[in-house]
């Protein structure tokens, strides 16, 4: 069958279950846009910024079984999208970005908005696939999805010259490659079972690859619970993956996020075995490579991650397994727990008690604005068992992890590597994907005006996120770092912000606007926000700057304005 490249690309995307593409239009790929519109088989979500489109695609990549898809124009469009690629690359999030390019006859001339994508994207994508032959267009899509979704998942860019779309070809639609799942070797499983049986104080980290497995098989959650209970093990969800295990489950051993509170990390460091089930062991999770220590861990380490390039890249594990963490879990459950597993009950109980103490909903009122703890605790009361929470990057996020006891079934989305700007677009995507379900987006005043314009996309497509803005009139995180590192110097100068009335700002986009100025307004303001349901809501919280995070206060408060 002869068809245009544009049509072949559209059918190839359909063959990969693509039903939604996030884009900012560009003349460089107009041939594809018009073919997609004509075919009308998927929704084009037209965004306000390419990074917004990229973060929405990243959210899709985390909410389903396939890579999310974004489509951006050449040069400036792609340059805007870079932060989303950087984030997806670090976060191991599957994503396919379709990118326009100059006409083939002009390659290499530095024609209008031309860029050498292989050079530009070499450290933010798994691969850059340039399509210069019409016959390879469909194969390129199939390869892009396969690479984005397998091994360590990540973003793949497909580069499409402006003049290729109207070419015709007889090439068939390349079908989706089957998912390749590696299981554990029998010998490795024997060793792991033996190490787990002997350990008195094992610590089990669960991370992103386990969550990815859960997208394909929701039995992951129940299996994790049975593993924890039968094998008597403390389970520790890692940075920005809190939904893997119920925070109140008696086997919850603590959240292994950014800078684990001293009381908890002190206990964790008494472990005699560390098993990382689907956690990559990033800088953040490893507490800046101190637990475990890099490159030689201070305790026996078992690292399970579905990519041999990653296992052993930073840490030398005693046992490395390049396979699906859920497959390991299932195989261990089949073997059955060691007879004396109960010997670890005290260890599990101690960790859990320390974790529960840290989660206690306690805070002190602050004089210079609302303690954000009060807002987050109130939201926790309203969150449905299937709610989605998204978070931008900033210190307001520490309150989320301290005061929301996440449960299996809830969804948490954020840039794991901490890119600002992800909170709003991820909430828009989550709300589009899960209509009628609660979506709460947290952001600071900094992040709100960095990517907050995507609230226009929410309004345009009927998404209904509740947007909670913690307005402490500063880039608070950086003020804190400055205060901690250079305590003798003024710390506010480089971080102060003057903000609009965010409730009014939200109303101008068609959202409901609510303002919370004092702690006494928290309960009513949050209840009103959750009652809206039919349109986006912006809750402007005038928060304390003195309460710099959920764990820290400025003590030199006299230096605050
Ligand atoms: C795109 C991007 N730019 C800069 C940073 C560095 N950074 C991390 S947190 C932060 C401040 C965030 O401020 P705000 O959104 O107001 O939240 P707060 O920390 O005050 O709670 C900055 C600038 C980043 N992580 N990402």
pLDDT above 60: residue 200: yes
Q: Is 391 in the pocket of ligand 1 (CB under 6 A)?
A: no
pLDDT above 60: residue 198: yes
Ligand 1 atom nearest residue 480's Cα: 19
Q: Is 446 in the pocket of ligand 1 (CB under 6 A)?
A: yes
Helix, coil or strand: residue 416: coil
| Angle, alpha carbons 228-254-519 (nearest 5°) | 130
Q: Is 188 in the pocket of ligand 1 (CB under 6 A)?
A: no
Residues 45-77 have pLDDT tens digits of 999 999 999 999 999 999 999 999 999 999 999
- Cα–ligand 1 centroid distance for 561 (angstroms): 20
Q: What percent of the chain has pLDDT over 70?
A: 99
Residues 501-551 have pLDDT tens digits of 999 999 999 999 999 999 999 999 999 999 999 999 999 999 999 999 999
Nearest to 516 by CA among 548, 542, 537: 542
Burial class (CB in 10 A: 0-12, 13-18, 19+), 237: buried
pLDDT tier for residue 418 given thresholds of 50, 70 and 90: very high
Ligand 1 atom nearest residue 476's Cα: 20
**Which residue among 372, 415, 420, 479 is best mutated to probe the pocket of ligand 1, counting the most ligand atoms within 8 A of its Cβ?**
420
- Cα–ligand 1 centroid distance for 488 (angstroms): 23
Residues 363-410 have pLDDT tens digits of 999 999 999 999 999 999 999 999 999 999 999 999 999 999 999 999
**Which residue among 240, 372, 475 is best mutated to probe the pocket of ligand 1, counting the most ligand atoms within 8 A of its Cβ?**
475
Using CA positions, which residue lies closest to atom 8 of ligand 1?
Answer: 394
Residues 73-87 have pLDDT tens digits of 999 999 999 999 999
Give the list of residues 6+ apart from residue 418 with CB closer than 8 angstroms, or none. Answer: 284, 393
Residues 206-263 have pLDDT tens digits of 999 999 999 999 999 999 999 999 999 999 999 999 999 999 999 999 999 998 999 9
Distances (CA, A) of 510 to 430, 460, 507, 515, 548: 19, 9, 5, 16, 31
- Cα–ligand 1 centroid distance for 230 (angstroms): 42
pLDDT tier for residue 559 given thresholds of 50, 70 and 90: low
Range in 80-84, 163-167, 552-556 the model is least confident about? 552-556
Q: Is 442 in the pocket of ligand 1 (CB under 6 A)?
A: no
pLDDT above 60: residue 289: yes
- Cα–ligand 1 centroid distance for 129 (angstroms): 33
What pLDDT is stored for residue 486 in this prediction? 86
pLDDT above 80: residue 429: yes
């Amino acid at each position: 069958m002869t068809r245009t490249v544009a049509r072949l690309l559209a059918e190839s995307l359909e063959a990969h279950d693509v039903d939604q593409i996030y884009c900012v239009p560009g003349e460089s790929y107009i041939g594809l846009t018009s073919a997609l519109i004509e075919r009308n088989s998927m929704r084009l979500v037209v965004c306000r910024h390419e990074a917004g489109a990229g973060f929405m695609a990243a959210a899709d990549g985390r909410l389903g079984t396939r890579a999310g898809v974004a489509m951006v124009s050449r040069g400036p469009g792609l340059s805007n999208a870079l932060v989303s690629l950087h984030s997806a690359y670090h976060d191991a999030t599957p994503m396919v970005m379709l990118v326009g390019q100059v006409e083939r006859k002009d390659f290499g001339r530095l024609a209008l908005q031309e860029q050498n994508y292989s050079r530009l994207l070499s450290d933010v994508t798994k691969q850059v696939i340039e399509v210069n032959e019409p016959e390879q267009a469909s194969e390129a899509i199939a390869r892009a999805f396969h690479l984005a979704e397998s091994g360590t998942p990540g973003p793949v860019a497909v580069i499409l010259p402006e003049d290729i779309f109207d070419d015709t070809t007889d090439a068939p639609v390349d079908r989706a490659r089957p998912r390749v799942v590696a299981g554990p070797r029998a010998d490795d499983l024997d060793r792991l079972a033996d190490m787990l049986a002997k350990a008195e104080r094992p610590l089990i980290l669960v991370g992103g690859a386990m969550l990815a497995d859960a997208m394909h098989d929701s039995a992951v959650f129940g299996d994790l619970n049975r593993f924890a209970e039968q094998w008597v093990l403390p389970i520790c969800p890692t940075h920005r993956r809190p939904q893997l295990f119920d925070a109140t489950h008696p086997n919850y051993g603590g959240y292994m996020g950014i800078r684990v509170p001293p009381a908890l990390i002190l206990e964790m460091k008494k472990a005699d075995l560390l098993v990382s089930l689907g956690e990559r062991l990033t800088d953040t999770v490893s507490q800046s490579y101190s637990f475990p220590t890099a490159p030689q861990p201070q305790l026996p380490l078992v690292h399970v991650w579905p990519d041999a390039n990653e296992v052993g890249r930073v840490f030398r594990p005693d046992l490395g397994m390049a396979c699906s963490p859920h497959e390991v879990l299932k195989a261990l459950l089949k073997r059955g727990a060691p007879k004396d597993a109960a010997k670890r009950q005290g260890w599990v109980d101690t960790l859990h008690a320390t974790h529960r103490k840290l989660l206690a909903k306690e805070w002190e009122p602050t004089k210079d604005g609302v303690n954000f703890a009060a807002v987050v605790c109130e939201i926790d009361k309203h969150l449905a068992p299937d709610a989605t929470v998204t978070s931008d990057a900033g210190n307001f996020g520490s309150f989320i992890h301290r005061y929301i006891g996440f449960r299996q079934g809830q969804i948490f989305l954020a840039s794991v590597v901490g890119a600002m700007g992800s909170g709003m677009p991820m909430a828009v995507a989550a709300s589009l994907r899960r209509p009628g379900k609660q979506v709460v987006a947290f952001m600071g005043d900094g992040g709100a005006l960095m990517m907050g314009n995507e609230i226009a996309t929410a309004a345009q497509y009927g998404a209904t996120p509740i947007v909670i803005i913690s307005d402490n009139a500063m880039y608070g995180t950086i003020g804190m770092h400055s205060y901690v590192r250079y305590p003798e110097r003024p710390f506010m100068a480089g971080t102060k912000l003057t903000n609009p009335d965010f409730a009014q700002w939200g109303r101008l986009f068609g959202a409901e606007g609510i303002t919370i100025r004092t702690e006494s307004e928290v309960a009513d303001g949050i209840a009103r926000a959750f009652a809206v349901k039919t349109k986006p809501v912006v809750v402007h919280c005038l928060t304390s700057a003195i309460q710099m995070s959920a764990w820290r206060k400025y003590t030199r408060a006299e230096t605050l304005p």
